[in-house]
Amino acid sequence: MMELKVRDAFEQIFKPFMDIDPVALLIRGLPGAGKTTLALELMRSVRDRYNCFYISTRVSYNKLRKQLPWVEDMLDDSTALQFMQGRAAISKNGDTNKIDSIDLRLSSADNLLNFVVDKLINSRRAFLVLDSWDALAKEIPMDERLKMEKSMLAVADANDGMLVFISEEPEMNTLAYLVDAVITLDKDESNNVWMRTMKIDKMRGVAIRKNKFIYTLHGGHFTMVENKKKVSYVPSLFPPLASKHGYVSTGSRDMDDALGDGIREGSVVVLEVDNNVNMQYARIIMLNAVLNNIRSNKQAMVICGEDEPLVKVLRKIVPHCTSFDLNGLMVFTSPSHMQEQEYATAYRELSTYDKNSMNEGMVMNLTDDPEENFALLVDSYIKLKEEGKSMVIYANMIWNELDEVKDRLVYSAKVVRNNRDVLMITVKSRTELADAANMLADVHIKLMNENDTHILSIVKPEERVYAVILDDNGYPSYSLLPLL
């Protein structure tokens, strides 16, 4: 499933370019940026149209397939070639490996040019990756190097071939003017989180709707991450995950693994949300834990934000539960949304997975009196807690001020810890309320939006960074892709 998603993102960006039969592409960036992996992913996407060759100054084929086992599907000893300057590569049995390496002790610009031209002409429609071009051509004077580059591109064009140049010297930009596309791999920092970024500096023949993307090298692949513009759900039953002893599952296997077995009972979880975040992501992350608990015959409370549409919350719960599951749920909403005609219509249309109406009394209307509201919440908590099982309480506090809730926040954290429940809070980043909540938090998570990608940063218990991908499983769910 994840493989299909990330291949879709990759294909959407590069397929239109590769379909116009370009002649040359330059991939540049510092060591370790993933240039080789990107070049080989491009090779994999066109291997049915080209005869592919990988020419390296650094990595033998044996080492390459250990690092990236999937390259065996498209390369072998005769198509992955290693240039050794000064000595020939030695195989495991001590013999000179004359198949996957070419000794360039007596090499010259002419010899190198002839070798590349030979592959382009005699292997009709050749796709050649030169890794790295800087090391291959570093001894060649600049004017001769430029002539050489123009000659190779002319031969590639005449023979329907393609050259992919890998460069670790961005300042050497002679190729940038000649090739059809220039891709730069780099790192960006935002909110103390480092992310790998791919920038399209140039791409002839195609419209560039966006020139910067976040990617990861997780699993040995070059994986690009993009938000889905729209994810729709149909009434389908949410499949609960079993909670390990002493823990409460988040409803997401990826999140449970990221936190280490889920959320420990008696914990306070704070999700800190940036201003530019799509709140659907925050709701799905938090409501997955609510869904999982009530689908596991346990209890949950949901306290909507002051200006949060109740229907947006209910639509992520009610159609994915049975009427029996909803016996363990109470939802609290602010007065303003109870009066809206749109809400009233949508409310009447909501039904459970087994086609029943919502239980009367499941949704309770809060008032403008904070003390009265707090008393109602305490009474409801006591009523649900009669079952004695671990409860999940989720409160959206993005629109609250610290002075309004600080005493109740501390009190709630104490009650939750004493009763081995889980309190989950959504707060707005860089506010006094966020600072106070984070001091109480056993689990601190940040959600941000960078380059149209939602990034989840786990601050504690252990620092980790993921891209969040919404799933089309019929019910609200998500995957976490490690950003490495």
- What is the β-pairing status of strands 223-225 and 212-216? antiparallel
Give me 89's structure tokens.
């590569």
* pLDDT for residue 414: 94
Cα 405 to Cα 37: distance, rounded to the nearest angstrom = 50
For residue 132, whether the previous peptide bond is cis, meaning omega lies within 30 degrees of 0, is yes
* pLDDT for residue 46: 92
Are 463 and 446 in contact by the 8 Å Cβ rule? The answer is: no
Question: CB 187: neighbour CB atoms within 10 A?
Answer: 12
Please, what is the end-to-end C-alpha distance for the chain in angstroms? 20
pTM above 0.75, yes or no: yes
Cα 424 to Cα 436: distance, rounded to the nearest angstrom = 14
Q: What is the mean pLDDT of residues 43-59?
A: 89
For residue 323, whether the previous peptide bond is cis, meaning omega lies within 30 degrees of 0, is no
Q: Write the DSSP assignment of 124-138 as a string of letters.
A: SSEEEEEETHHHHHT
More confident residue, 10 or 456: 456
Are 452 and 467 in contact by the 8 Å Cβ rule? The answer is: no
Are 287 and 480 in contact by the 8 Å Cβ rule? The answer is: no
For a pLDDT cut of 90, what percent of the chain falls above it? 55
Can you tell me which residue has the tokens 């008032």?
A: 367
Q: Is the pLDDT of residue 426 over 70?
A: yes
Are 444 and 459 in contact by the 8 Å Cβ rule? The answer is: yes
Phi, psi of 207 (to 5 degrees): -80, 130
Tens digits of residue pLDDT in 161-218: 999 999 987 666 678 889 999 999 999 888 788 889 999 999 999 888 889 999 999 9
Angle of CA points 411, 412, 414, to nearest 5°: 65
Tens digits of residue pLDDT in 250-306: 999 999 999 999 999 999 999 999 999 999 999 999 999 999 999 999 999 999 988
Going along the chain from its start, the domains and CATH numbers come out as 2-225 (3.40.50.300), 247-482 (3.40.50.300)
Q: Is the pLDDT of residue 325 over 80?
A: yes
Give me 342's structure tokens.
């749109």
* pLDDT for residue 424: 97
User: What confidence category does residue 233 fall into, taking pLDDT thresholds of 50, 70 and 90?
Assistant: confident
Are 25 and 42 in contact by the 8 Å Cβ rule? The answer is: yes
* pLDDT for residue 371: 87
The length of the chain in residues reads 484
Phi, psi of 54 (to 5 degrees): -120, 120
- What is the β-pairing status of strands 329-333 and 363-365? parallel
* pLDDT for residue 84: 57
Tens digits of residue pLDDT in 75-122: 888 888 776 554 434 333 443 333 344 444 334 556 778 888 889 999
Q: Is the pLDDT of residue 422 over 80?
A: yes
Cα 412 to Cα 469: distance, rounded to the nearest angstrom = 32
Give me 248's structure tokens.
């409460």
Alpha helix (H) residue ranges in 234-323: 253-259, 279-295, 310-314
Cα 420 to Cα 389: distance, rounded to the nearest angstrom = 9
Burial class (CB in 10 A: 0-12, 13-18, 19+), 374: middle
More confident residue, 177 or 6: 177
Cα 186 to Cα 196: distance, rounded to the nearest angstrom = 6
* pLDDT for residue 327: 92
| Amino acid identity at 401 | E
For a pLDDT cut of 70, what percent of the chain falls above it? 88
Are 276 and 453 in contact by the 8 Å Cβ rule? The answer is: no
